[in-house]
Structures are given as C-alpha cells and as structure tokens.
Structure 1
Amino acid sequence: MDFAGKLPIERVAIAKRMEGLRPVLLGKSTTFEVLVENEMAGRDFVALIPELQDYLRACLKNSTVTMTVRVSEPKETVRAVGRVEKFQLMAQKNQALMQLKDEFGLELY
C-alpha cells in the first residue's frame, strides 16, 4: 500500500488496482504471487515487478524477495475491485438486486 501511495498521478490506475490485490506467500519462501483478472493487468504488473521488488527489498532489508504475477483462470474467482464489479458479483448471488435496480431506475457507474 505504501508503494502504491508513492506512485505518480500518471499511474493512479495501477495504484488503485494494487490496493484491491492481496498477495499470497508461496510456501515458506520469500516469493509472493499476485493474482490478476486479465492479460492486460498482468502485463502492467509484470512491467512493475523490478520497481516493486527493489522497493520491497530495500524496505524489508531482504534481497531475496521475489514477486510473480499470475492471470486467473476463467473458473477462478477474483476479488471485485470497483463498485460496478462488486454490484455485479452481488447480483449474481441475489437476483432481487437487479430487480431493485430496474424498479428504481438506478444506474451503475
């Protein structure tokens, strides 16, 4: 989160995406994995690996910290990041939400 907060304004999109991700430590190693929802996000994060690893290695004083990026499989659930995605996920579980949205003429942004 600290790294995302220090990114310049031009990279606000990836910073916001980083806030919604939850890295997973792989085994007992110093390697962690970030699961992203699509290839485009995967490319963005792969490009960010050297910069993020350098930051983490300096902050943690551990030169073996390694980051990997994996694109989720279609059957895997990825945590919803935006408001629209969250609503769609909830609406899949409960169709009454869609009925309420339609009945009151609500729009999703």
Structure 2
Amino acid sequence: MKRLTALATAAIIAFSANQARAVDPDKPLTLPATVTIVDFDQMKATALALHPGSTLLDTDLDEEYGKYIYQVELEDTRGVEWEIELDALTGQVLKNHQET
C-alpha cells in the first residue's frame, strides 16, 4: 500500500509540474504550426494602455495548462505596481490587478 501511495504522489507531482512553466527565453519557443502568438510589442502596448504613464518592470511568457500567457508587471505614476496577464494567442486581458 505504501508503494502505491508513493507512486500516486509521484504521479501527481509530475503532472502538476507540467501544468505551469515559464518559457525559457534562451530556447526557441516550439508551438504547433497552426498556433501564432501576438507580437510582444502589441501586448506591451495593451498593458501600458491600461495604466497610462506607467513604467514596464518585468515581462514573462508562461505556459499554463496548455495556454500561453504574457505576464506584465508595471509601476504606475503613483508608484503602485500592477500585474497584467494577457492571452498570448488572442491579446485578451485576462487579469489586471494591483500587487499587494
């Protein structure tokens, strides 16, 4: 029974590890030929338009549950930091919230 529990735990950890991962910017991004992501400059412009006058702090392209998500961190003119998530395939804003 302990062996079965250990195997089940290992399977859950392995499955969870594959569900969300950062895309390594030093390695080419491999997407199916039918998938095209939105240009980064367009995503950056969309994020900055949500908070005019903001400064770009950080950006990441992550894969979560088979979806590609741009994560953009901004600091607005009042010094408030914002985290914005955009769908890399459509450009749709998925999340726009203040960092705590």
TM-score category (smaller protein): under 0.3
With the length of structure 2 as denominator, give the TM-score of the two structures.
0.27
Higher share of residues assigned strand: 2
With the length of structure 1 as denominator, give the TM-score of the two structures.
0.25
